[in-house]
Amino acid sequence: MSATRRSFLKSGLALGGIAATSQLSAPFVRTALAGQSSNSVIFASGEPLTGNWDPTSHTILGQINFEGYVFGRLTKTPMRPENPSEIQYELATGHKVISENILEWTLRQGITFHNGKPFKAEDVKATFEYASQPGKSAWYPGPVDVEIVDDYTVRLNTENHGYPATAYILLASFLPIMSAEDIADGAISQTPNGTGPFKFVEQRGDETIMAAFDDFHEGRPIIDEFRFAYMGDANTRVLALLGGEADIIERLEPEQHDTLAERDGVRVKRTVSTENKYLHFRCNKAPFDDVRLRKAVCHAIDRDLITEILGAAGHASSSYVSPVKLGGSDIANYPTYDPEESQRLLAEAGYPRGNGLPELEYITSTGFYPKTKEYGELITALLQEQGFNVKLTVLETAAWLERIYQPESGEAPGHLVDVGWATGSPEPDLVLRPMWHSSQSLITGFEDAEVDAALDAQQAEGDPAARLKLIEEGVMPKLADKVPSLSLFTSVLIHGMQSNLEGAYFYPNGPIDLSKASYT
Amino acid sequence: MAFVLTFLLRRLSQGIVIVLLVGFVIFSLLRIVPGDPVRIMVGPMATEEQVEQIAEELGLRDPLPVQFGRYLSDLARGDLGNSFIKATSGASVAGGRDDGSAARAQVLDLIVAAIPFSALLAGLGVLLALIFSIPLGIAAGLYPNGWIGRATFAISSVFVSLPNIWLGILLILIISVQLGWLPAIGYKGVAYAVLPAIVLAVELSAVIVRALASSVAATMQENFVQAGIVRGLTMRHMITHHVLRNSAIPMLNLFGAQLGGLLLGSLFVVEYIFNYPGLGLLTVNAVFQRDFPVIQGVAILTTAVLVLINILVDLISAGIDRRLQY
Amino acid sequence: MSGLSSQFWHSVNGRMLRAAWARPQFKVALVFLIALIALAVLLPMLSSVSATTISVRDRFAPPVLWEGGTASHLFGTDQLGRDLLLRSLIGLRNALVIGVVSVFGMFVLGALIGIISGYRGGIVDTVLMRITDAQMSIPVIILAITILGVSRPTPFSVILVLILAGWPTYARVIRSVTLTESRKEFVRAAKIIGAGPLRIMFRHIAPNILPPVAFIAVLDVARMMIFEAIFGFIGIGIQPPVPTFGNILADGTKYLINAWWITVVPGLFLFAALISLNLIGSALESARNDVLGGRNQ
């Protein structure tokens, strides 16, 4: 979620470009492709970096990807659909729930930061206390006090802050561990210094240069150099991959996926992401303060058609969170396409065939997510078929971004809003609370005591299995019944890469683990 | 030469008034429309206090005339302000919850960096247009009712009816996608400027050819030309020495008043179609990102350029035709 | 022929129209344009589907003559399975309406300013003409992109921007007509015997406005249609799902490889309309020169 440069002429032209590169001969050929050393990987990012390296200073997915190379975390969560809540220890070696409000981590020994400073408990304390400050970041549930037991043991304590410490079990995989010194003297925004497989070398225009970190605790990466290059246009990225100027590219359009899949020398990788795309209702203003109308809309939308339009970029799902998150399995009472039910609900709400409804504005974006405009037009047409008087507003990313959230005062614009929500952890609360807990309800303005109670109950549950049950049987059915939003599908990340590049792991929120990657 | 000076002074002062007026209109317009640029700069997660704090620091909460006054005094020192969005590194700082530790790029630098690209494209476009139009326009002017005159009329009718966006897409589709002869999107070398320049040239040619043809045809009807031919001067001599010179004045005026605007307008559109990194793309992106300082800078600069072109054209045409009054 | 129409046919306007009609290009282009408009009005009314009817399973159908094309979609379908012929025709209708309305608006504004300026003369004239000068030095496209880009574009705001961009030409031409006419003996005489300014404007000035303005207006309709397409293409024109040339073309560019017809077909319709308008316009221009003599306005 951030402003990207408008990229257009995407897929079609990328393919055009393919023709252009492969057939270009004399005099206009782009000369020498960037001298590609066999041990260097260039990643073409669809989003730029901000230039402020403090991981808590932004919400930009591109920069979160970057942090994946430089920083380490207490844990890793590979988020495979078959076992979403699997935890692998990285900087930690174990965790223990001491009580509802105290969570203990034991830390790995013998790890150093890129600047040579040894990693110890003080760094975890500084990082957690810094990142969880109120107003610092919306990702964390609230402030936390960290006690240092010894150099390699810490305890997160939330007793004074009114929420359970267990909330950090899954969140730990999302927070880059910074050096306590850097936080204290502010160096963190000037130079990225972590424990990750690659260390920052320099910023050269739109390229961020990194080198293998010799003392990486899992063993020095096979790749010597890694470059993070910003290429805002999807078409440019595809051309760069085909021309050898990039080795991995991200954010492909579905058409580009289909074409690249058939080509030699390159590979495509689909990864079901942590991001669901939602049709959010403005629940705190007429007419969608009436649950019957929200349901009528849900039953008017044929989600199969949407996934058909999305092709390789969409994964059908019927839940409020992605299947790679805890509790993301399909919900039994999730609304399905049922025009008759839609009509019945419309009539019941006092608007037979939609008569008497005001004009409804449906706000969506273009240039960032794949196919939003296409399926936006489809949803508009499906709703109009049932008699809803819907007007579609397609906005550039920047303009859309400033309209999606509930303002501090006054009414939010529009009645229906298309927004995706991607987070780098299997933790479902990263979605559930900001979206539908009345304390936040960032977009919907939804307030419901039952949903709040169900959300609080699962958060307070320390036992993962019991918690999963509370989410699947308590939270999700209630949401599906009150439909403050309709989750349309789960996004699929599409990466393209040189086919001789092996051993990369693609996380469902975008970052790529290249610490074991190499060319064959 | 005193009258030249007074002419220049008068026109320049008028020009400055125009530039200020445009500046003020754009400036006010950008501040009354809904949409808070600070919200875009800091990202959706920032609190309302942070937004207000940064807005205060940037002076965005001061009364409009105060803001404009400050802008003008900076402008007088050659400072067009800093982009809201773009960092010096070329990266985008939007969405970061950061007040400026990532240095935001100077608008002037952004514009200066974009100008060579636009200049290359515009120059190539005008060159192609002239190579195509001058021979055709003169021939059509000499023989307005012959086949060449009719063919020229037909060609210019087709050219003027080709929407630049469609022509651009067709060229990409045929030349780049199907035939693979030229690259189309972005800029990595001069080859990338060829297709967009062709689109510019087609648009310009449609106007130039017809204007040149009718100007030459009209001059041919003048008494002195007819007299010259009767006096036995060769046709070639008459054309090169008299007809072209006389046709040049309306052509120059055309270039100033009409083609300046036309060229600028199509440049913006064409750069956008081909994702060509010149002034046009900079501006369109700035509009979408609510990057007010960039929009203002470009608007003021292009207005100033248009005003200057018009003054220059008037001076030159007065130079060519000394009978013209200042 | 009644007295009035016979009078018309011998007036300057009538003679101009007859001179234009004498040119084959005028006749052909006019008939073609009328046929195109009739098609654009009638076909959407007769068709069982609408231009916004989505049928995901029919998407990317090529035109009928290509492999895989069907007779139910003569010109193929777009990325959402909508009929391209219908969409192009509705786009044409919308573009024509925008073009005609905005040119009419420019004419009215330009006439108002031109007549006042030419009739009153003096300081009013100087100020108004300086304003038109200034307006002509403004990079209109930047103004338009700014206004439409930062506000929410509607048909109304698109038309307004076009009017703002185009009125000075009309103001200048009409001012010079006003100047010429009000210097004539009988107008002076009318003034002396106490005819009001409104009466003079309507009786003596208005009838002479058409010849110098008609061709400009027709050519401008074509230009405004191009502008409308450009706005739509950039995404600052009339918003989807209402089909306009600009937004159809913008969508189509994403599918150039697998469905070239999405961009080619609507462009052909736009081109057809523009070339008819341009031929009509230039025939009117020649006719004006025949009637008034010379090229000077």
**Which CATH number is A503's domain given?**
3.40.190.10
- Which pLDDT value is given to residue A18? 37
pLDDT per position as a tens digit, A145-174: 999 999 999 999 999 888 888 888 888 888
Contact residues on chain C for A378, CB-CB shorter than 8 A: 54, 56, 80
Query: Which of A169, A189, A209 is where one domain is finished?
Result: A189
Residues in C 60-89 with any Cβ partner in A closer than 8 A: 79-80
Alpha helices (H) in A357-413, listed in sequence order: 372-385, 397-404
Phi, psi of C21 (to 5 degrees): -60, -30
- Which pLDDT value is given to residue B293? 87
Instruction: Count Cβ atoms within 10 A of the Cβ of residue A209 and give its class: 0-12 exposed, 13-18 middle, 19 or more buried.
Output: middle
Both A426 and A292 in one domain: the answer is: yes
- Measured in angstroms, the CA of A364 and the nearest CA of chain C are apart by 11
CA–CA gap between residue B220 and residue B224 (Å, rounded): 9
Q: Tell me whether B175 touches chain C (CB under 8 Å).
A: no
Both A79 and A62 in one domain: the answer is: no
pLDDT per position as a tens digit, C160-169: 999 988 888 8
Collapsing DSSP to helix, strand or coil, C297 comes out as: coil
Contact residues on chain B for A58, CB-CB shorter than 8 A: 43, 95-98
Which chains form contacts with chain A, at 3 or more CB pairs under 8 Å? B, C
Among the partner-chain residues B85, B102, B185, the one whose CB lies closest to the CB of A9 is B185
Q: What is the mean pLDDT of residues C203-232?
A: 88
Q: Which of C187, C5, C218 is nearest to B161 (CA)?
A: C218
CA–CA gap between residue A68 and residue B136 (Å, rounded): 62
Task: Report whether A418 contacts A403 (CB < 8 A).
Answer: no
Both A253 and A288 in one domain: the answer is: no
Both A225 and A347 in one domain: the answer is: no
- Measured in angstroms, the CA of B73 and the nearest CA of chain A are apart by 30
CA–CA gap between residue A175 and residue A139 (Å, rounded): 9
Task: Report whether A327 contacts A475 (CB < 8 A).
Answer: yes
Contact residues on chain C for A10, CB-CB shorter than 8 A: 254
% helix / strand / coil in chain A, to the nearest 5? Answer: 30, 25, 45
CA–CA gap between residue A71 and residue B283 (Å, rounded): 36
- Which pLDDT value is given to residue B252? 72
Q: In which domain, by residue range, is A230 found?
A: 40-69+193-271+493-519
CA–CA gap between residue C149 and residue C127 (Å, rounded): 31
**Which CATH number is A170's domain given?**
3.90.76.10
Contact residues on chain A for B94, CB-CB shorter than 8 A: 2-3, 398
Query: Which of A189, A217, A240 is where one domain is finished?
Result: A189
Residues in B 187-226 with any Cβ partner in C closer than 8 A: 214, 218
- Domain contains A336: yes
Both A111 and A250 in one domain: the answer is: no
Query: Which of A153, A174, A189 is where one domain is finished?
Result: A189
- Domain contains A35: no
CA–CA gap between residue A445 and residue A409 (Å, rounded): 12
pLDDT per position as a tens digit, B26-45: 888 887 766 667 766 666 55
Both A342 and A219 in one domain: the answer is: no
- Which pLDDT value is given to residue B54? 79
Among the partner-chain residues C56, C241, C254, the one whose CB lies closest to the CB of A11 is C254
Both A48 and A81 in one domain: the answer is: no
Both A423 and A351 in one domain: the answer is: yes
Task: Report whether A170 contacts A122 (CB < 8 A).
Answer: no
Task: Kindly state the DSSP code that residue B96 receives in the 8-state scheme.
Answer: B
Binary contact (A255, C80; C-beta < 8 A): no
- Domain contains A33: no
Q: How many domains does chain A have?
A: 3
To which H or E segment does residue B247 belong? helix B244-253
Task: Report whether C291 contacts C211 (CB < 8 A).
Answer: yes
To which H or E segment does residue A361 belong? strand A360-366
Q: What is the mean pLDDT of residues B281-289?
A: 83
Task: Kindly state the DSSP code that residue A118 receives in the 8-state scheme.
Answer: B
Both A430 and A308 in one domain: the answer is: yes
Q: Which domains does chain C have, with CATH numbers?
A: 2-51+74-296 (1.10.3720.10)
If one counts every other C-beta atom within 10 angstroms of the C-beta of residue C140, the result is 18
Give, for all 520 residues of chain A, the pLDDT tens digit.
Answer: 333 333 333 333 433 333 333 333 333 333 333 334 468 999 998 877 777 788 887 777 888 899 999 999 999 988 888 888 889 999 999 999 998 899 999 999 999 999 999 999 999 999 999 998 876 666 677 889 999 999 999 999 999 888 888 888 888 888 999 999 999 988 888 889 999 999 999 887 778 999 999 999 999 999 999 999 887 777 778 878 887 888 999 988 888 888 888 888 899 999 999 999 999 999 999 899 999 999 999 999 999 999 999 999 999 999 999 999 989 999 999 999 999 999 999 999 999 999 999 999 999 988 778 889 899 999 999 999 999 999 988 887 767 877 888 877 778 889 999 998 877 788 898 899 889 999 888 899 999 999 999 999 998 887 888 999 999 999 999 999 999 999 999 999 999 999 999 999 999 888 999 999 999 8
**Which CATH number is A470's domain given?**
3.10.105.10
Cis peptide before A221 (omega within 30 of 0): no
Binary contact (B261, C274; C-beta < 8 A): no
Residue B7, pLDDT > 50, answer: yes
- The predicted model scores a pTM of 0.81
Interface predicted TM-score (ipTM) of this complex, two decimals: 0.88
- Domain contains A450: yes
Task: Kindly state the DSSP code that residue A58 receives in the 8-state scheme.
Answer: B
- Domain contains A149: yes
Binary contact (A402, B39; C-beta < 8 A): yes
Residue B113, pLDDT > 60, answer: yes
Q: Which domains does chain B have, with CATH numbers?
A: 2-106 (no CATH), 110-320 (1.10.3720.10)
Both A283 and A322 in one domain: the answer is: yes
Q: Which residues contact B242 (CB under 8 A, 6 or more apart)?
A: B219, B224, B225, B228
- Which pLDDT value is given to residue B98? 43
- Domain contains A234: yes
Both A137 and A147 in one domain: the answer is: yes
Both A150 and A80 in one domain: the answer is: yes
Tokens, residue B189: 């070398």
- Measured in angstroms, the CA of C194 and the nearest CA of chain B are apart by 38
- Domain contains A25: no
- Domain contains A169: yes
CA–CA gap between residue B97 and residue B95 (Å, rounded): 6
